[in-house]
Amino acid sequence: MTYIPTRMCVGCRKRFHQDQLLRIVKDNGKAKLVDSHTQGRSIYLCRKRECILSCKKSHAIERGLKVTLDEEFFRELEDKCDE
């Protein structure tokens, strides 16, 4: 049996396999949505629209990465969500 890393969604606080989550990385003072492995401070978010909206309202991504986000970033996240 192979090890599959699990991470916690900052929106719903549930654990998922790492490959099921969106990874958002702080890069040069800005948040960046990445698919490949990148070093740096990061948070994970599941692909549910409710979690994205919850994070937007509670500023969870901004607190986790210590950055300021704009509407365009949240539109990009909503495009990547499954539901």
Domain-embedded: residue 48:
yes
CA distance 57 to 49: 12
Domain-embedded: residue 50:
yes
* 83: pLDDT strictly greater than 70: no
CATH number at residue 24: 3.30.1230.10
Amino acid 71: pLDDT: 92
Exposure of 53 by Cβ count < 10 A (0-12 exposed, 13-18 middle, 19+ buried)? middle
Count: domains in the chain: 1
Domain-embedded: residue 24:
yes
Give per-residue pLDDT as tens, 9-32: 999 999 999 989 999 999 888 899
